[in-house]
Amino acid sequence: METNHHSIRPSMLFGLIISLGMLAIALFFQYYMDLDPCPLCIVERVIVIVMAVVFFFAFLQGPKAWGRRVYGLLIALVSIAGLGVSGRHTWLQHLPPDKIPECGPGLEFWMNNLPAVDVIQKVFHGSGECAEVSWTMFGLSIPELSLIVFSLFLIYSLKLIFKGR
């Protein structure tokens, strides 16, 4: 029987709080510190919103056995997407100045004037604004800190997926 398993609701609530905290910090940076998000920052925010939604539904449902694995897989997939974007963002921030892509017209312009495939390609190619480091904590930029959080989410998801009975 599945009565041996402890509820995962507390850990899902914790993941939800972390995700919402990341969003709150991003909004604080944007609206109170006047740090405009670059295209990769916006994609990272969308990924964090998706993560929050997954944690929210997992918290509500409190899944057992295979449900834990399903949510673990969802968290893993979203974490991998977050790692990819924040990893690319971090890489851009560490490029030598002469290798940094030029600043473009911006995400809103691209979305209004280009096909979706081209927008995605331009976002992941990055721009000069994505290479700027405008805030750090413990010597780490926002994308580097996001990389750490997505790594921790991925480790937790693997625990959910592979935890034995």
> Does residue 2 belong to any structural domain of this protein?
no
Domain count, the chain: 1
Helix (H, G, I), strand (E, B) or coil at 137: strand
Provide the pairing of β-strand 140-141 with 136-137.
Answer: antiparallel
> Does residue 147 belong to any structural domain of this protein?
yes
> Does residue 1 belong to any structural domain of this protein?
no
Chain centroid, CA 108 distance in Å: 20
How confident is the model over 9-43, as pLDDT tens digits?
999 999 999 999 999 999 999 999 998 888 888 88
Model pTM above 0.85: no
H or E element at residue 140: strand 140-141
CATH number of the domain at 148, please: 1.20.1550.10
How confident is the model over 79-108, as pLDDT tens digits?
999 999 999 888 888 877 776 666 565 666
- Which domain covers residue 126, as residue numbers? 8-162
- Angle of helix 9-31 relative to helix 142-162, nearest 10 degrees? 170
